[in-house]
């Protein structure tokens, strides 16, 4: 494996949407600053509320609302940070150029996460306790408030991981390459069959241990389909020896997982885990998450990207980056993480 030394080298990977920086302007500064300020403000109020430092009355009420809504609000602010940071790195607004792509992904992320919730709440239950692999608690009583919170929180999942991966790509991971790996048709078919088996696991074995399968099943099941249909895929990248996108998506999923668990821990509206198949490891935790479970976030980043690429077989006409006669769009499709 090698790391190509310079982004200006002709053999290096050109990042999606990258162009010369504007000589005087600093695009994205306002969005980046606003996102950071909002996150900082939310954190100050959160910890003041947790520590009982807010006076009774309006201040305490605001603190309670922040603890209830910290996940959707903080993640909305984090998306602002990412979009501002990408604009600073690229020298122009990523969001302005690929607005449709961002908002379609933002909306798509909601049903994508609901698929995982559906598996968890209908097919993964510990027979001894009746608990699911994860459970929500302390949700707002008002249906509109709860629904809007779900929308903001779930909609940030996919773009949060993908845009974080885009930042990692620009930090140098895009240049990681090696000689390609031979992944012929038999290997591709075997991968697809394995994915089908993992996909069926939660439906056959109704227990929390099926949690092991749902974070990787779509990778094995859908990535070969993406490759056969000519979409960006892990198989396609690996055959060409291009590892940057894989590593970036894994790190993007892991980094976002660390943030999810950090903001979730002190929240009133939160999720908890019940993973008895981990044995005593279930009680060694990073905030609410058992430490071994953090590994799943790396696979989750790749899996959701594979699901997104599969969805673009249908949704591609709605987003930028799918016009094959445009070099910049081909570039985005080839090298981008969203």
Average pLDDT over residues 178-207: 91
- 95 CB contacts (<8 Å, ≥6 apart)? 31, 83, 87, 102
Least confident of 2-16, 43-57, 77-91: 2-16
Stretch among 44-48, 86-90, 325-329 having the lowest mean pLDDT: 325-329
Q: What pLDDT shows up at residue 333?
A: 62
Tell which wins on pLDDT, 124 or 54. Answer: 54
Mean pLDDT across the stretch 260-267?
Answer: 95
pLDDT digits (tens, 9 = 90+) for 301-322: 999 999 999 999 999 888 876 6
Average pLDDT over residues 99-119: 94
CA distance 330 to 335: 9
Coil, strand or helix: which one is 97?
helix
Q: Which long-range contacts (CB under 8 A, 24 or more apart) does 45-54 make?
A: 46/70, 46/266, 47/266, 50/266
Determine the pLDDT at residue 235.
95
Whether the pLDDT of residue 110 is over 70: the answer is yes
User: For all residues of the chain together, what is the average pLDDT?
Assistant: 87
Q: What is the pLDDT of residue 263?
A: 95
Mean pLDDT, range 102-106, rounded to an integer: 95
The yes-or-no verdict on residue 188 having pLDDT over 90 is: yes
pLDDT one-digit tens code per residue, 239-252: 999 999 999 999 99
pLDDT band at 25 (very low <50, low <70, confident <90, very high): low
Q: What is the pLDDT of residue 205?
A: 80
Q: How far apart are CA 313 and CA 231, in angstroms?
A: 8
Other CB atoms closer than 10 Å to residue 92's CB: what's the count? 18
Distant-in-sequence, close-in-space partners of 17: CB < 8 Å, separation ≥ 6: 90, 92, 94, 97, 98, 328, 331, 332, 336
The CA distance from 88 to 31, in Å, is: 10
Residues 30-46 have a mean pLDDT of 96
Classify 213 as helix, strand or coil.
helix
Q: Taking 70 as the threshold, does the pLDDT of residue 233 lie above it? A: yes
In the predicted model, is pLDDT for residue 324 greater than 90? no
Alpha-carbon distance of 301 to 298, in angstroms, equals 5
Is the pLDDT higher at 72 or at 292? 72
% pLDDT > 70, the chain: 88
Q: Cα(119)–Cα(208) distance, rounded to whole angstroms?
A: 10
Give me the pLDDT at residue 336, please.
85
DSSP, res 55: P
Q: Does the pLDDT at position 231 exceed 80?
A: yes
Tell me: the pLDDT tens digits for 134-151?
999 999 999 999 999 999
């Amino acid at each position: 494996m090698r790391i190509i030394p310079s982004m200006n080298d002709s053999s290096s990977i050109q990042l999606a949407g990258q162009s010369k920086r504007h000589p005087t302007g600093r695009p994205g500064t306002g969005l980046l600053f606003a996102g950071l300020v909002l996150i900082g403000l939310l954190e100050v109020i959160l910890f003041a509320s947790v520590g009982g430092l807010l006076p009774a009355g309006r201040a305490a009420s605001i603190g309670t609302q922040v603890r209830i809504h910290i996940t959707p609000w903080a993640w909305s602010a984090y998306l602002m940070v990412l979009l501002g940071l990408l604009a600073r790195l690229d020298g122009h607004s990523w969001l302005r150029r690929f607005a449709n792509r961002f908002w379609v992904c933002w909306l798509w992320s909601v049903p994508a996460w609901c698929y995982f919730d559906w598996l968890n709440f209908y097919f993964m239950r510990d027979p001894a306790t009746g608990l699911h692999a994860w459970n929500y608690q302390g949700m707002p009583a008002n249906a509109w408030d709860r629904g809007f919170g779900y929308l903001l929180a779930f909609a940030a999942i996919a773009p949060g991981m993908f845009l974080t991966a885009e930042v990692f790509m620009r930090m140098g991971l895009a240049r990681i390459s090696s000689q390609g790996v031979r992944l012929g048709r038999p290997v591709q078919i075997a991968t697809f069959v394995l994915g089908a088996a993992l996909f069926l696991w939660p439906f056959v074995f109704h227990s929390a241990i099926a949690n092991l399968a749902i974070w990787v099943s779509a990778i094995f099941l859908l990535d070969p389909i993406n490759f056969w249909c000519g979409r960006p895929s892990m198989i396609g990248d690996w055959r060409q020896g291009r590892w940057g996108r894989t590593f970036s998506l894994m790190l993007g999923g892991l980094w976002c997982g660390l943030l999810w668990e950090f903001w979730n821990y002190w929240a009133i509206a939160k999720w908890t885990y019940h993973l008895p198949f981990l044995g005593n490891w279930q009680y060694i935790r990073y905030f609410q998450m058992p430490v071994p479970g953090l590994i799943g976030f790396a696979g989750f980043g790749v899996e959701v990207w594979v699901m997104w690429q599969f969805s673009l077989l249908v949704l591609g006409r709605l987003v930028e980056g799918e016009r094959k006669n445009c070099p910049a769009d081909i570039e985005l499709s080839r090298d981008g993480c969203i």
